[in-house]
Structure 1
Amino acid sequence: MQIHSGSLAPPSAVTVDAPARLHLGFLDPNGSLGRAFGSVGLTIDERGTRITMRLADALRVDGTRSDAERARVEGYVEALCAAWSGPPVSIDVQRAPRAHTGLGSGTQLALAIGTAYARLAGRSSGSAEIARILGRGARSGIGMLGFDHGGFLVDGGPAHPGEGSGHFHTDVPPLLFRQPFPDAWRILLVDDTTREGLHGDAEKRGLASLAPFPQALAAHLCHLVLLRILPGIAESDFDAFADGITEMQQTIGEYFAPVQGGVFSSPTVAATLEAVAARQTAGIGQTSWGPTGFAFVRNAEEAVRALAAAQDASRGKPGIVCSIVTGRNRGASLRAVDLQQCGIDAQ
C-alpha cells in the first residue's frame, strides 16, 4: 500500500492493517557481487498487525504486549514527529504478533504507525521514506515490499553494504519479482512459544561471527530461486516450488546453524516439520531467525493432513502452536475517518 502524492486532508483517526510475512531466505549474505543479502518472502493472511491512531493532546500508547513494545512505539512516533513536525497522537495497538518469531512484527508495526501518522499529519509520504526515518528495511526489503504489495516477493538487497559487519546502507532494497501466491496452496505454521529468534545485539554479534558465505553457494541459491522456485510460483507447479524452498532453506540454515543452534532454531519445530515432510510432499523451513517454522502444502485437504501430523509429532511438547494460513496477495489497508464530522469526539 502506498500513500499517493498530493495534498491530503488530515482525518481525525486512521486504522492500518498490515500483513505478517514469512522471510524464506537470503540469496547472498556475503555480497560477493556487491549486493549483500537479497531476500525471498511471502505475506500471509494471519498474524498481522492492526493499529488505530487518533489526534490527541499528548502522546498516548495503549494495547502493547510489553514495556519494550511500548517503548518501541513511542520511539517511532517521536522520530516521525521530529522529522515532520506533526501533531501529538494516541495509538491503540489492537493486534500484533509475538515479537521475534520470524513474522516481521517490528517492520510491520513501524510501517503501520508511520503510515497512519503521515495520514494524520496530512503528508503523502510513502513506505520507503517511512522505513528510512524509522530505520527499517536496510538489510531485507521483504517487510516493506510486503506492506506495499503483498504476495510472493524477491528483493535485490541493498546496493551498497556499509563498512563493517552489521552496518548497512539505508536505501531500501528494490523489488525484483512479485507474483500472486496460488490460491489453493496452504501454509502450516509451527511456532515454539518458549523461544525467541535472534534480535538486537545478539543478532549483530551472530552475523559478525559467521564465516564469509561461499560464492558457489550464493550461485546455487540464485539458481534455485530463478529456475525452480519462481517458475513454480508462476506456473503453480507445487512440486518444483516445494523442492526448491526446502533445498534453499537447508542450504541457508546450515550456514546460520552455528549462531542459531542448528538448521532450525527450535529442535521441536524441526522434528515436527520433518514428521510432516515424511508423510507428504511439503516445502519446509524456518522464517527468518525463527522460531516459527513452515510447511507449504498443495491444497486445503493436504493442509488438514499436515496439521494432524504436526499435532501428533509435537504432542506433549510444551509451547508448540500449529496453525494453517494462506498467502495474502495484497498489502496493508488503511481506513481514515473524520470523527469530528461524524459528531464523535476524536479524543
Structure 2
Amino acid sequence: MNAVIPAERTVSVTTYGRLHLGFFNLSQQAQRQFGSVGVAIDAFQTSLSLSSGLQQLPLDPLAASILQRHLAASDTQTAFNVSIEQAIPRHGGLGSGTQMALALGAAMNSLLNKPVSASDIAAIHQRGARSGIGIATFEHGGLVVDGGRGTHTVVPPMLARHAFPADWHFLLIIDNSRAGLHGQGEKTAFKQLAPQSVAATQTVQQQLLSQGLPALIEHDFAGFSQFLGDLQAYNAEYFAPAQGGPYASKAVANILHTLKQQGYMGIGQTSWGPTGFVLLPSRTEAVAIQMQLLKQYAGQTALGFVVTAAVNQPATIKIEDVVN
C-alpha cells in the first residue's frame, strides 16, 4: 500500500528517558509475573522527525531496523526520511530502545493518519516483554505502575499513574565504561535466576500499596525514599547472581554505598544499569552532591553525574504542514 502523504508534511516526536525503579513480583509463583514501578525523567530525550521521501542521512542500525519492522507491519511501501536530533543513550537502563520504537512508530502512524496507540506500537516491536513502564511514561509521563504479565498479556497494563513531586530530583551516577545486560544476555539471565521468596514478594507489594504510593501522593519524601530503597533491595538480591553483585558497576556501587551511609535511603540502579541513582528532596541538594562527586572523581573520566527532575507530561507529537 502506498499512502498519500502531503509532500511537505513532517511529524516530530520528543519522548523522555525513564528510570526503572524496580519489579514488585519476582516470585514466579503467581498467575501474573513482574509488575514494575518507573518514572519519566528530563535528563535524556529522544527527538526525531519523519517525512515522506528517500532517507537523506545514514540511519542508526537500531532506528533502521525499527523503521523496517514498522513499515512491514503497516503494509506500506512509502519511503520515509528520518532525522534523529538526539537519542537516549543505549544500554544504560534508561529505556532507549522502547522510546526509539515508540517515537518512530508514533511518527509513522501520524504521517499515515493511523491511530497512535503506544501499546499497539510496542506490540509490533516486541517491547514490554516484562515491563510496561516505558510505554506508560510515553503516553502519560509521571510515576507509573504496571501490572506485569498474565497468561494473555500483550503489553503490561498500567495500574496507576501520578505526578511526581516537582521539588524532588534524582542524581544519576553513570558509568560509561560498561553497558548493562541486554539482548540475549538479558533473556538468558531471566531464565536462570532463582525466584524471590513469596514472603519477600508479598512484603514489597504491601509496601507499594501502603507506603510507596501514599507517600508519593502526600509528598512524604522520607516515606517514599524508604519504600524506594526497600524495593531496590528486593530487586538487587534477585539480580545479583547475573550482574556480579547488587549493582552492575562497582564504581557506582561504591558511590551509592557512601551515600547510603550518609543517610540517603532512596538509592538504587535503573533496570540492568549500570546507571545508579539517589533520590533527593530538592534540586539544590542534588546539585550540591553532584559538585562534590565531580570534584572527588575528576580523574575518573568514565563516571558522570547528572541531575534530573521527573517529567509529568507525555511524549509530544507535532504535525507540521509547510505552506508555500
**TM-score, normalised by the number of residues in structure 2:** 0.93
Is residue 75 of structure 1 aligned with residue 58 of structure 2? Answer: no
Aligned position for 2:49? 52
Is it true that 1:286 corresponds to 2:269 in the alignment?
A: yes
Whole-Å separation in 2 of the counterparts to 1:16 and 1:130: 14
How many residue pairs are counted as aligned between the two chains? 319
Q: Which residue number in structure 1 is paired with residue 74 of structure 2?
A: 84
Separation (CA, whole Å) in 1 of partners of 2:319 and 2:211: 42
Residue 34 of structure 2 corresponds to 37
1:199-237 CA distance string (max 9 Å, x none): 011111111111122211211221221122111101000
Normalising by the residue count of structure 1, what TM-score does the alignment of the two structures yield? 0.87
Choose which of 126, 130, 149 in structure 2 pairs with 1:158: 149
Partner of 1:108: 99
Shift of 1:304: 2.5
Q: SS where residue 125 of structure 1 aligns? A: coil
**Aligned with 1:296 (options 265, 279, 298):** 279
Provide the residue aligned with 1:223 in structure 2: 206
The Cα of 1:318 is off from its aligned counterpart by 3.5
Tell me how far 1:170 sits from its aligned partner.
5.6
The 8 Å contact of residues 26 and 38 in structure 1, kept in 2 or not, is answered as yes
CA contact 1:272–1:313 (8 Å) conserved in 2: no
Q: CA deviation at 1:192?
A: 0.1
Cα displacement (A) at 1:124: 1.3
* Alignment match, 2:309: 326
Task: Report the alpha carbon displacement of residue 274 of structure 1 after superposing the two structures with TM.
Answer: 2.3
Quote how far apart the aligned CAs of 1:61 are: 5.3
1:207-218 matched pairs, under 5 angstroms: 207-218=190-201
* Contact 1:268–1:314 (CA under 8 A) maintained in structure 2: no
Among residues 5, 18, 21, which one is paired with 1:24 in the alignment? 21
Comparing 171-180 and 110-119, the one that deviates more: 171-180
In structure 2, give the amino acid aligned to 1:147.
F
Identify if the C-alpha distance between structure 1 residues 125 and 335 changes in structure 2 by more than 3 Å, giving closer, same or farther: closer
> Is 2:11 aligned against 1:14?
yes
Question: Per-residue deviation at 1:77?
Answer: 1.6
Q: Distance in 2 between matches of 1:310 and 1:227?
A: 34
- Whether the aligned pair in 2 keeps the contact of 1:55 and 1:89 (CA below 8 Å) is yes
Is the 1:18–1:50 contact (alpha carbons within 8 Å) kept by the matching residues of 2?
yes
Percent identity between the two aligned chains: 37
Query: Per the alignment, in what secondary structure is the counterpart of residue 166 of structure 2?
Result: coil
User: Is 147-156 or 199-208 further displaced after alignment?
Assistant: 199-208
Q: What is residue 235 of structure 2 aligned with on the other side?
A: 252
Q: Is the 8 A contact 1:271 1:313 kept in 2?
A: no
Report the 3-state secondary structure (helix = DSSP H, G, I; strand = E; otherwise coil) of the residue aligned with 1:285.
strand
For residues 315 and 219 of structure 1, the distance between their equivalents in structure 2, rounded to whole angstroms, comes to 43
In 2, the alpha carbon distance for the partners of 1:226 and 1:200 equals: 32
Query: Tell me, what secondary structure is at the counterpart of 1:43?
Result: strand
Are residue 204 (structure 1) and residue 187 (structure 2) matched?
Answer: yes
Task: Name the SS for the 2:317 alignment partner.
Answer: strand
1:307 aligns with 2:290: yes
Output the CA distance in 1 between the equivalents of 2:108 and 2:57: 13
Residues in 2 aligned to 1:32 and 1:317: alpha-carbon distance in whole angstroms: 43
Q: Distance in 2 between matches of 1:121 and 1:254?
A: 46
Give 1:310 shift. Answer: 3.0
Shift of 1:302: 1.7
Cα distance in 2 for partners of 1:280, 1:292 equals 20
Determine which of 116, 127, 149 is the counterpart of 1:125. 116
Which secondary structure state, in structure 1, belongs to the residue aligned with residue 258 of structure 2? Answer: helix
**Corresponding residue number in structure 2 for 1:277:** 260
How far 1:191 moved relative to its partner?
0.4
Equivalent residues of 1:39, 1:141 under 8 A apart: yes
Instruction: Name the aligned partner's letter for residue 324 of structure 1.
Output: V
1:97 is matched with 88
> 1:145-165 deviations in whole A, cap 9, x for unaligned?
0000000110000222xxxxx
Deviation at 1:277, TM superposition (A): 3.0
Structure 1 residues 245-254 or 73-82, which shifts more? 73-82
Q: Give the Cα separation in 2 of the matches to 1:312 and 1:232.
A: 34
CA distance in 2, matches of 1:234, 1:335: 31
Query: Do the aligned residues in 1 keep the contact of 2:5 with 2:52 (CA within 8 Å)?
Result: no
Match of 1:317 in 2: 300
1:88 maps to a residue whose letter is A
- Flag structure 2 segments of 5+ consecutive residues without an equivalent: none
Question: In the TM superposition, what is the alpha-carbon distance from 1:276 to its structure 2 partner?
Answer: 2.5
Change beyond 3 A, Cα 1:34–1:190: same
1:135 is aligned, of 118, 122, 126, to: 126
CA contact (8 A) 1:138 1:170 kept: no
Cα pair 1:275 1:309 within 8 Å, conserved: no
